[in-house]
Amino acid sequence: MKNENERFDLLKRLTAARFMVEDLHLYLDTHPNDREAIAKFNSYLMQTKKLRESYEKSYGMLTAHDSFSQYPWQWINEPWPWDYEANFELNRGEN
Amino acid sequence: MWIYEKMLEYPVKIKNPNPKMAKIIITQYGGPDGELGAALRYLSQRFSMITPQAIGTLNDIGTEELAHLEMVGAMVRQLLKGASLEEIEKAGMSAYYADHDRGVYPASASGVPFSAAGIQSKGDPIVDLTENLAAEQKARATYEYLINMADDPDVIEPLKFLREREVVHFQRFGEALRIVQDYLQEPHLFIMPKPDFLNK
């Protein structure tokens, strides 16, 4: 395991990119002809995929349907997302 | 079908247990305007919805509500996990403790177990989308009341995120309602010129 800061930094960037995908996804449901929004969606999706891949390389599976596992089965490794230890601190000063 | 992503939509990291906040935040887990009801409402309504935009909106907001349910559950659990019995008793949570210890159970702030009686799926697209606009506003108001009762930034930040999502969902449902109304007003006839003999 690499250090916690690095893991949280990666997770934070992944969470941010993943959120942009989610928000644009809902927007596009009611604006299917917005070409610019589709380009943004695709670009954030690309970022999300890359970040997810590099996170999984060091810190384990984020999905059980689209991630490879080492031996033994990695999916059940702790922490789970609802655990205190799984989450990064927000830098409240930035907001 | 559904797939699970092993991360929260927005982080929940609460240092200090606080059963008093857990006791009221639980209402967004299993209360009348909570995330479980929201997910169940939209995911049930989608079966009889019309127009691709509105169907997609119900499907996808319903799915996001499940991610919010998980966030609220994480908040309740972290607020209860390290709480002492004394703190639990002082917070007026003894009754909850007797039934659920420090577990997460879908109930309202006043302790009423989750009920689908608080949601509707009417089979009528205008009725359902109008209900959803109200539901998003009720959830927004609930998050604001919870924020008013909170003083810990670890608690306030995720509540603010969830409140903001209600605002966005309200907007998307408003757009879906307009799309459905426009669709219902369009004449669905293929117009052709009237032949002369019909004019006689």
- What span, in angstroms and rounded, lies between the C-alpha atoms of B167 and B133? 10
Q: Write out the binding residues of B for Ca(2+).
A: 60
Put simply, the answer to whether A82 touches B4 (Cβ < 8 Å) is no
- Is pLDDT of B198 > 90? no
Is A32 an interface residue toward B (CB < 8 Å)? yes
Predicted confidence at residue A91, as pLDDT, reads: 74
Contact B172 A29 (CB under 8 A): yes
Q: Which of B5, B175, B176 sits opposite A63 (nearest CB)?
A: B5
Contact B51, A30 (CB under 8 A): no
pLDDT value at residue A61: 96
Domain boundaries, chain B: 19-186
Output the CA–CA distances (angstroms, integers) from residue B154 to A4, A80, A84, B8, B120, in the order listed: 19, 19, 11, 15, 34
Neighbours of A15 (CB within 10 A): 19
User: Percent of chain B at pLDDT above 70?
Assistant: 100
Q: Is the peptide bond before B113 cis (omega within 30 degrees of 0)?
A: no
**Which pLDDT belongs to residue A95?**
41
The annotation places the binding site of B for Mn(2+) at 35, 65, 68, 136, 169
Which residue does chain A place closest to B61, by CA atoms?
A26
A85 C-beta neighbours (distance < 10 Å), count: 9
Note the pLDDT tens digit of each residue in B148-189: 999 999 999 999 999 999 999 999 999 999 999 999 998 877
Pick the residue of A29, A66, A74 with the most B CBs within 10 A to test the interface with B by mutation. A29
Beta carbons of B73 and A11 less than 8 Å apart:
no
Residue A92: its pLDDT value, please? 53
* Shortest Cα distance, chain A CAs vs residue B116, angstroms: 25
Question: Strand, coil or helix: what is B111?
Answer: coil
Beta-bridge mates of residue B143 = none
Cα–Cα distance measured from residue B110 to residue B83, given in angstroms and rounded to the nearest whole number:
20
Please check whether residue B136 is in contact with residue B166, taking contact to mean a CB–CB distance below 8 angstroms: yes
Q: Report pTM.
A: 0.94
Rounded Cα gap, residues B183 and B51, in angstroms: 8
Question: Do residues A57 and A87 lie in contact, with contact meaning Cβ atoms separated by under 8 Å?
Answer: no
A34 CB neighbours in chain B (<8 A) are none
Is pLDDT larger for residue A67 or for residue B104? B104
Cα angle B75-B100-A89, degrees, rounded to a multiple of 5? 15
| Interface predicted TM-score (ipTM) over 0.85 | yes
Contact status of A8 with chain B (Cβ, < 8 Å): no
Q: Looking at residues B80-94, what average pLDDT do you find?
A: 97
What does the alpha-carbon distance between residue B145 and residue B21 come to, in Å, rounded to a whole number?
Answer: 12
Residue labelled with tokens 């079966």 = B47
Q: How far is Cα B171 from Cα B105, in angstroms, rounded to an integer?
A: 30
Sign (positive/negative) of CA torsion A46, B12, B15, B77?
negative
Q: How far is A23 from chain B (nearest CA, A)?
A: 9
Minimum-distance CB partner of B13 among A23, A29, A84: A84
| Least confidently predicted of B27-36, B45-54, B107-116, B190-199 | B190-199
Encode pLDDT of A62-80 as tens digits: 999 989 999 999 999 999 9
**B19-186, CATH topology level:** Ferritin (1.20.1260)
Tens digits of residue pLDDT in B35-62: 999 999 999 999 999 999 999 999 999 9
Please give the residue that has the higher pLDDT: either A2 or B196.
B196
Higher pLDDT among residues A90 and B114, named by residue: B114
The pLDDT confidence band at residue B80, using thresholds 50, 70 and 90, is very high
What's the average model confidence in pLDDT over B63-77? 98
pLDDT tens per residue, range A11-65: 999 999 999 999 999 999 999 999 999 999 999 999 999 999 999 999 999 999 9
Q: Which two tokens stand for residue B157?
A: 């930040």
Residue B15 vs residues B1, B97, B157, B177: alpha-carbon distances, Å:
35, 21, 13, 42
Q: How confident is the model at residue A2 (pLDDT cuts 50, 70, 90)?
A: low
pLDDT value for B153: 97
